[in-house]
Amino acid sequence: MLIGKPSDIPSSEITPRDAYEDYVNVRRSERRSFLRGAVAAGAAALGAERLGELFDPRIGALAGTKLDTVKSPLTTTGEDLTSLNDLTHYNNFYEFGVQKNEPGQNAGALPTRPWTVKVEGKVKTPKTFDIEALLKLRPLEDRVYRHRCVEAWSMVIPWVGYSLSEFIKQCEPLSTAKYVQFLSYYDKKVEKWASDTSIFWPYSEGLRMDEAMHPLTLLTFGLYGEVLPNQNGAPVRIAVPWKYGFKSAKSIVTVRFLDKQPPTTWNDQGPSEYGFYSNVNPTVDHPRWSQKTERRIGLPFYAQRKTTLMFNGYADQVASLYTGMDLRRNF
Ligand code: MTE
């Protein structure tokens, strides 16, 4: 994602995206084979179980705690899941560092209990929900979704949660509420890395009310049947599978109902690069790269490149939300 102004960097100095990805992939596979050797030697010395503990990728006091879940009719089928290891080492959570591996190292500092979500704005009465009450509001469902980042990589994630609409009903929004804004936790003493960026904190995202009420929009508490690791946005985040991943705010502390479109983090950073709607759309390129294809994290190098689908493959369910809209202008 863009931090600072692109005009600061002469185009001659920007490595073409494909060359960079090829470089990273080659380096990664070299590193993996080296690591495999080292891990095998270590396992023999330490015993495999102890080694598993040392390399547990889930960070956070409650990460890894099992959740009671039920199957969801809204799950995506026919996709291989991204491994827990990749889901927890390749993250965007800029409050804990801008490199993909940094949230997995630094987000342990996020205090996920006690945790409350404040509801304010155009509602009958402002309320505060405790995370324990939110966890019990509805049966938690296992829902696999494709996850497409605006940076043209993707994953397949087995989330745990329930439709955000169930929570919104409890918030009793007024008829004047047209948008919902989500604000993430922000404490600069805990999230020391945040001040290295030009982002105006806290992280803010928003949805139009009908998007927020769509059954696919998931209030998310876990992945792989367990409490969310901190690096993935514990203890509660959003997952909107037909939009680029940055619409899915992590570690939410405030939900605000508004009559106007809220300011959002990436749209503020680069309005020509990150639109408010941010629907996955292979026909609208990012100004600096194509959105026609994506790189599926965790697959062997030769199998990574995939064709990006309109609305990330969820068009049958969500295209009607945008009938009559020019999706090039409202990107
Ligand atoms: N939420 C907060 N608070 N801070 C962030 O930096 N990054 C966004 C989104 N939510 C971000 C955030 C982006 S760019 C993406 S792609 C997804 O989280 C990444 O989620 P994941 O790390 O669980 O894959």
| Strand 252-258, strand 116-121: pairing | parallel
Percentage of residues in the chain with pLDDT exceeding 90?
A: 81
Average pLDDT score over residue span 302-328: 97
> In the numeric block, which tokens belong to residue 64?
């890894």
Least confident stretch, 34-38, 118-122, 186-190, 266-270: 34-38
Choice from 246, 267, 269 to test ligand 1 binding pocket (greatest atom count within 8 A of CB): 246
- Atom of ligand 1 at shortest range from CA of 155: 24
- d(CA 316, CA 42) in angstroms, rounded, equals 49
Which residue, by CA, sits nearest to atom 19 of ligand 1? 92
- Atom of ligand 1 at shortest range from CA of 90: 22
- For 80-106, write each residue's pLDDT tens digit: 999 999 999 999 999 999 999 999 999
In the chain, what are the domain boundaries? 17-53, 66-322
pLDDT score recorded for residue 14: 46
C-alpha 239: how far from its chain's center? Answer: 6
User: Apex CA 57: angle with CA 225 and CA 186, to 5°?
Assistant: 85
Q: Is residue 4 very low, low, confident or very high in pLDDT (cuts 50, 70, 90)?
A: low
- d(CA 96, CA 85) in angstroms, rounded, equals 18
Mean of the per-residue pLDDT values for the chain? 89
Which residue, by CA, sits nearest to atom 24 of ligand 1? 91
More confident residue, 173 or 40: 173
- Atom of ligand 1 at shortest range from CA of 231: 22
- d(CA 262, CA 258) in angstroms, rounded, equals 7
**Local structure of residue 57 (DSSP, 8 states):** -
Ligand 1 centroid–CA 50 distance in Å is 31
Average pLDDT score over residue span 287-316: 97
Ligand 1 centroid–CA 59 distance in Å is 16
Ligand 1 centroid–CA 268 distance in Å is 16
Average pLDDT score over residue span 312-320: 98
Is 70 exceeded by the pLDDT of residue 29? no
> In the numeric block, which tokens belong to residue 203?
């992280």
pLDDT score recorded for residue 3: 62
> In the structure, which protein residues have their CB atom closer than 6 angstroms to any atom of ligand 1?
1, 91-95, 149, 184, 203, 232-233, 245-246, 248-251
pLDDT score recorded for residue 2: 62
Average pLDDT score over residue span 194-209: 97
User: Apex CA 30: angle with CA 25 and CA 33, to 5°?
Assistant: 125
pLDDT score recorded for residue 253: 99
Average pLDDT score over residue span 116-145: 98
Which residue, by CA, sits nearest to atom 23 of ligand 1? 232
Ligand 1 centroid–CA 152 distance in Å is 14
- For 69-79, write each residue's pLDDT tens digit: 999 999 999 99
Which residue, by CA, sits nearest to atom 10 of ligand 1? 249
CB distance 25 to 301 below 8 Å: yes
CATH number at 66-322: 3.90.420.10
Is 80 exceeded by the pLDDT of residue 37? no
Which residue, by CA, sits nearest to atom 5 of ligand 1? 93
First to last CA, the chain: 16
Is 80 exceeded by the pLDDT of residue 301? yes
pLDDT score recorded for residue 58: 86
Is 60 exceeded by the pLDDT of residue 25? no
Is 90 exceeded by the pLDDT of residue 6? no
| Strand 153-163, strand 179-184: pairing | unpaired
- Atom of ligand 1 at shortest range from CA of 184: 3
pLDDT score recorded for residue 57: 83
Which residue, by CA, sits nearest to atom 16 of ligand 1? 245
Ligand 1 centroid–CA 45 distance in Å is 37
Is 60 exceeded by the pLDDT of residue 40? no
Distant-in-sequence, close-in-space partners of 4: CB < 8 Å, separation ≥ 6: 198
pLDDT score recorded for residue 35: 42
Average pLDDT score over residue span 125-134: 98
Ligand 1 centroid–CA 209 distance in Å is 21
- For 231-284, write each residue's pLDDT tens digit: 999 999 999 999 999 999 999 999 999 999 999 999 999 999 999 999 999 999
Choice from 2, 98, 201, 250 to test ligand 1 binding pocket (greatest atom count within 8 A of CB): 250
- For 133-155, write each residue's pLDDT tens digit: 999 999 999 999 999 999 999 99
